[in-house]
Structure 1
């Protein structure tokens, strides 16, 4: 692959090893900040060290900013391997990593490895051997920069814990009400709490309103409606409605059915209001990710960072693998040259 004129070449693993050795020396460890990234002065000193000890044979000079970009790649590899060791890297279940044999792939699990490494290309170089720089990088990184889990930027996913917390919060803000039934009284028959009535009371033939008990000062009971059997000589269709004031009205059969329908509607509305609102997914579709990555690749091609041939190959890769689009679109401007090289040369010892 022909790289842009401004790209530093890191094909020789000894170049990366020299950078790690520089910052692991006793006099240069202090040049790493709390986030594990070198200071600007430290990068410039490392660039001078590289120019003196590792003369450039391919690509552009390894300047301070170029070394800073390379250091981010080193940290990414360290974080991924740490996640593999601690079994916290997404999708690592079923795989074991050790410093000597890497993932120890054999003929038995070769097919599974092809599928796994296609989704997690950062692990491809460690098929049968470990990364010999892991211990040294782990030792010089501040504890706050090491992390104890891996969550790559380009493999984001919805968090079940977050959605559960959201639903719990919604449930807390919309508690359901459970009415407490009032006791029966022998004198009046069945007693219905008004909290259970969502519309006008539902009357049945043979029953009438006997009394309406009102709340008295200091009373904690809910006003109730007492219903009793109609006596002899009372028209079964003649019911008294408390909503009609002092005037007695006749509730016909159709009106009673209409009241039942309204009550059912009110129950349905109450249930719907108590449920949390449906969540809309904010995930970006693979096609949209590919479009964003394509625009960035076109920008890099026009800037001379990648060639036209590389641009075409990247477009095909973005459509084939959404993870490639994720990696490219989340990389910083000065990192995309290295990301493009890694994506198009997955088996290269680019670290």
Structure 2
């Protein structure tokens, strides 16, 4: 809320939201989980707005830490909506396709259906009728990814790091095979001219007689040093080491072993009688297995009633865990939460105090039932003026 009761305005000048996103993008190392910026970061953003570094507001009051927090929550939610549209899992948008270049690509023939779609609580997509969000890439880089790891797919990049790792591994293996083949050819041309007695003085003997302390100075040691990798992964050096060790082991001279005395001739034995033909009973009978040791087997163990109930209970718990994993974070209109009831109650109080109209209150109630984060943001505002400002952001298609 600005001075004198004047609310902060984020919609008149699009540069205000763009400057805020770019500020958080520069400070994304301090943003944490990207959901709730800390007080210091919000104060810095407010100071920069006041000093006209991010741009002074052309309309409305100054940007305070509270209004900046609310605006950031709205922008983050808009990013999530567009990400759902890109992944084809936004509720109610099965007939629409979003791209970064053309937005939803609405044609004159589909304009009526588009207006109906916007009126159904999707007015936040109105600016993207025929163009994408210019700040998508900056916003996507600012927000942390939901999953961690080397092989996590990033929707903004279009390819996973796992495919790059596979390409690097294939390149290193190809280079390793070429090195081993060239080493094989050179060793075959020089090996016959060296007697066995002088094998310890040969190239293989000298390469194997190096002390451990000088391993970093050998050919194989240099292949592991960071300066000689030339873009290869560590796997290529291990492959070269394994290939060289295999070549040395194949050329190691074997000592002469005494010849064993010939074995006694084997006395032929009578052939075993043929197995009887399988009868229908033998065909249908399952062969006993010594490895069968499951909870339902009556061959080795006997399952009691409590054990059976325990195994069934584990299966039900696994199913329940999967359901909670899929639907635990989604709100349901049939089972309103305490936050939903509290947000709707605040909206009714704001209607009684003439902050909002009954139409706005009804639309907010529908929005709270569909998106619990909107209800949380509404509850977080301190008074009716701030909630009215937030309602204008949540319902940009209404003018009140």
* Higher RCO structure, 1 or 2 (CA under 8 Å, sep 6+): 1
Query: TM-score, normalising length from structure 1?
Result: 0.50
Query: TM-score, normalising length from structure 2?
Result: 0.44
Q: Higher helix fraction: Structure 1 or Structure 2?
A: 2
Q: Higher strand fraction: Structure 1 or Structure 2?
A: 1
